[in-house]
Amino acid sequence: MLTTTAYSLAVVLDLFVILIGARFLLVPQPAAAGYGVPAKPNGDAAYLTVKGLRDTTFGIMGLALLFFAGAHAEAWFMLAVALTPLGDTLIVLRHGGTRAVAFGIHFATAVVVLTGAALLFAV
């Protein structure tokens, strides 16, 4: 049961990050608003594309590690990647986003990612 839960959570998180990345690549303005810091209408779209590429790459890398290197490799990866939503929490707070988005989305995501890492370490 623990193994199924750990692997399922890891796959769901990896796929979710790929979807977030794809959203930033395909519809960057709405994706930025959902992130918690809306992009300026005439801002540099390259930064939104960078976020999309970063997230998509993280998701693909996570899936590759899980399927080709195993649970412990994915656990270490998730442990390191948890820094991203923690950093996103600070970015939202420092750039005018709401505390609800910063903690309710980004910090909560970090907690779920760290929980996933802990479960993978346990299998």
Mean pLDDT of 12-18: 98
Residues 52-76 pLDDT 10s:
999 999 999 999 999 999 999 999 9
SS3 percent helix, strand, coil of the chain, rounded to 5, is 85, 0, 15
Q: How many other C-beta atoms are found inside a 10 Å radius of the C-beta of residue 83? A: 11
**Is residue 47 pLDDT above 90, yes or no?**
no
Mean pLDDT of 68-91: 97
The domain ranges of the chain are 2-122
